[in-house]
Amino acid sequence: MLFMTVAEYIANQLFNHGVRYVFGIPGGPSIPYLEAFRTAGIEFILTSNEASAGIMADVTARLTGIPGVCHATFGPGATNIATGVGGALLDRSPVIVFTSEMNDFMVNRTTQMNINHQKLFEPITKATFRMNADNVAEVMESAIRLCQDSYPGPIHIGLPSDISGIEIDAISVPGLVLENRYYRNDIQKVISLLEKSHRPLMAVGLTAARLDIQTELLAFLDSCRMPVVITPMAKGLIPEDHPCYAGVLFHSLSDYLEDIYEKTDLVIGIGYDPVEYNYESWIPDVPLVHFDIIETDMPAARSIVQYTGPADEWFSILKNLNTGSLIFEQAVIKGIRDEMNSVFNGFTNHFGPAAALKVLQDELPEDAILTADVGSHLHLIGQFWQTHGKGKIIMTNGWSGMGFGIPAALATQINNPEATVVCVTGDGGFLMMAGEMVTAKRYNLPVIVVVFSDGELNLIKVKQSWKNLPPYGTMLYHDDLFGADIFLGIKVLRADSNEKMRKVIIEALSVNEPVIINAVIDPEDYKWLIVRR
């Protein structure tokens, strides 16, 4: 028999499964766990806000394939971290979130900071557990396995405040047995639809990106050409200059893609997760074949066939397309892309978001990693940012929570210390997570945070204009957002023209420390470039 304390066992199990960071803000009951993490070789990253801890765990999981881990204390700590945990659920990231809970004697009594954490986390996690001295090994085994099972997502573990020092037998026990899924795929119906199609359209999504099927996808498209549209979180899976690449759904100028939809006779979904953008919001009245690793809910009023299985089976079945009868109009696809880019470039002769993004694209190395916050600017980034097959864009779309960009950038830099990491955020998103700039400084993370400063919640303002309403409740501040060249000890570089933007980006790249670029933009571009829906 091998005895460890509960805290030691948890830390050792996490380390043995590859976890090297835990993100969060501790409370009093957290102290034994922090010491156990330190002893095991896991660094506890102190954040300024618990929501950031959840986001950083989410992004760490995306980048490493290892469960991200975050921690918060009772009550308000738990409710704060829930925002980041919800992101892990709808953006499909394997995360384990620990929260301190009242001990058994106090858990059902009226006392300070006490709420039912299991009820809080139940709707935003795949499962929630309350640990005790008898189930520690079972809960840890179950959580580590379940958070990574498809679809991946967050698992909550409540830690009663008085169990950290209890000694337990450290021999692992079997955890939760996962359901053995069986799917009744109608392969003949799938094949029939494929064989009849002359103008198929492929839609590639989040699951495909998470499974990293780029090699298989590009090999298939080399032998079977068809137009391809992608969802925002699949950005980078297919190069933007690929002859089959048409564009990104829902984001800027995506209405131009309707010329392709109108000609198709079959939509083929490849790892398409409707959490980003429901099929019925865009596909024409044609049959749909949906390939994924789990079944998903679909609109009942359409001709839809789902095939559920591993990705290698998808491409094997797709060989039933009659390549000799397919009509592929590369010139049409290129014409749409060229027209969209021409419109975008037409807005770069003054200092708005299009110009700022173009200068940023020109000056950053091709392998830079960009994190994008939620807001009007995200619509432009999703459609027009070039990944060059080397870079990476990290965003939230299933959850779409403002404030994502800065903590995502910090987690990216921690896990990729040699990379050039840049966050693009609006001033609204920046204000939500401004305290994390201190986190960047504390851990010497040389992230570049580009703030598109227009003084308003522009996406809400644009949507108000679609309803012929005046802007209301969207003004963030008057004058300059920063009003100084230092913010929380971090250098602020101001840009209000293309030339100044280029200059400050070069300067930011030359220093090995966090930098804020205050890009004071004209937001008028947005009302022309964002697609109404």
316 in helix, strand or coil?
Answer: helix
The whole-angstrom separation of Cα 395 and Cα 91 is 9
Residue 184 pLDDT: 80
> Per residue in 389-408, pLDDT tens?
777 999 999 999 999 999 99
Provide the pLDDT for residue 316.
96
Examine residue 93 and state whether it is found in any structural domain, yes or no: yes
Instruction: State residue 484's pLDDT score.
Output: 96
Looking at residue 183, its pLDDT comes to 73
Task: State whether 316 and 422 are in the same domain.
Answer: no
- Count the residues in the chain: 533
Shared domain for 293 and 265, answered yes or no, is yes
Tokens of 244: 């089959």
Same domain, 355 and 503: yes
161 shares its domain with 287: no
Of the three residues 334, 362, 393, the one that is the final residue of a domain is 334
Residue 152 lies in a domain: yes
| Pair 437, 490: CB distance under 8 Å | yes
Say if residues 347 and 385 touch (Cβ distance below 8 Å).
no
In a domain, 458, yes or no: yes
Helices then strands, counting H and E runs in the chain, come out as: 20, 21
For residues 210 and 160, membership in a common domain is answered with: no
Q: Give the pLDDT of residue 108.
A: 86
The whole-number pLDDT of residue 298 equals: 85
Residue-level pLDDT at 3? 87
105, 196: one domain? no
CATH number where 135 lies? 3.40.50.970
Domain membership flag for residue 400? yes
Q: Supply the Cα-derived Rg of the chain in whole angstroms.
A: 24
The backbone torsions φ and ψ at residue 385, rounded to the nearest 5 degrees and listed phi first, read -70, 135
Question: Rounded to whole angstroms, how far apart are CA atoms 335 and 246?
Answer: 10
Domain end position, chosen among 141, 169, 197: 169
Q: In sequence order, which residues have a C-beta less than 8 Å from that of residue 223 and are 6 or more positions away?
A: 323
Domain containing 280 equals 187-334
- Domain tally, the chain: 3
The model's pTM: 0.96
Q: Answer yes or no: is 341 within a domain.
A: no
Residues 288 and 200 in one domain: yes
| Residue-level pLDDT at 488 | 97
Cβ-defined contacts of 31-34 (< 8 Å, 24+) = 32/5, 32/7, 32/164, 32/165, 33/7, 33/71, 33/98, 33/159, 33/164
In a domain, 179, yes or no: no
Residues of the chain predicted below pLDDT 50: none
